């Protein structure tokens, strides 16, 4: 486990200090850290545990329970590709296969150039415009393989 550099340490401490007195503060803190760093470094767990008077196992257990929280650094952009039924009914499988082939990764993988991480998601609430994809919080509908190419080309430049 790599120790945190002092800047990251400060970021983590600032988030913990700001939110630790909220009732049920752990999820807000984990979101705060992931928003700031893109992930929750395993080396941040002791500081979170100490701030909330929890065991490290408690904190690790919560991080690992939720699909959204990650303990490794993601690519520059995260592509969430919906796998749920409505998208499947509109040939989501073709978009998924194309995404994996184009990016050269499986789900949870990050491209070799560090530009994209591909994640599955189970419903983005865009079921009347399936298949749906979200890139860094921006939603796209009716994402055919061709449209996915255009979206990735656009985000690749950012």
Rounded CA-CA distance 94/101 in Å is 11
Question: Closer CB to other proteins, residue 3 or residue 137?
Answer: 137
Q: Please count the CA atoms within 13 angstroms of the CA of 103 that sit on its side-chain side.
A: 32
- Of the candidates 59, 68, 4, the one whose C-alpha atom is nearest the C-alpha of residue 31 is 68
> Residue 123 interacts with other proteins (CB under 8 A)?
yes
Alpha helices in 66-119 (DSSP H): 85-88, 92-103
Number of residues that bind other proteins (CB under 8 A): 42
Binds other proteins (CB under 8 A): choice among 17, 57, 61, 104: 61
Among 86, 105, 148, 152, indicate the residue that binds other proteins (CB under 8 A): 86
* Residue 26 binds other proteins, judged by CB under 8 A: yes
- Segment near other proteins (CB under 8 A), from 7-15, 81-89, 96-104, 109-117? 81-89
């Amino acid at each position: 486990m790599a120790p945190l550099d002092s800047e990251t340490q400060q970021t983590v401490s600032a988030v913990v200090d700001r939110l630790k007195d909220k009732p049920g503060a752990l999820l807000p803190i984990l979101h705060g850290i992931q928003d700031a760093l893109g992930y929750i470094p395993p080396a941040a767990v002791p500081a979170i545990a100490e701030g909330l008077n929890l065991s490290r196992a408690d904190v690790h257990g919560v991080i690992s329970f939720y699909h959204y929280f990650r303990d490794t650094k993601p690519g520059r952009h995260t592509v969430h590709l919906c796998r749920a039924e409505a998208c499947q009914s509109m040939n989501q499988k073709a978009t998924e296969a194309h995404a994996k082939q184009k990016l050269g990764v499986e789900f949870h993988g990050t491209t070799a150039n560090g530009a994209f991480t591909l994640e599955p998601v189970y419903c983005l609430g865009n079921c009347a415009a399936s298949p749906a994809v979200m890139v860094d919080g921006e939603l796209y509908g009716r994402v055919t393989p061709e449209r996915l190419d255009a979206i990735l080309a656009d985000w690749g430049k950012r």
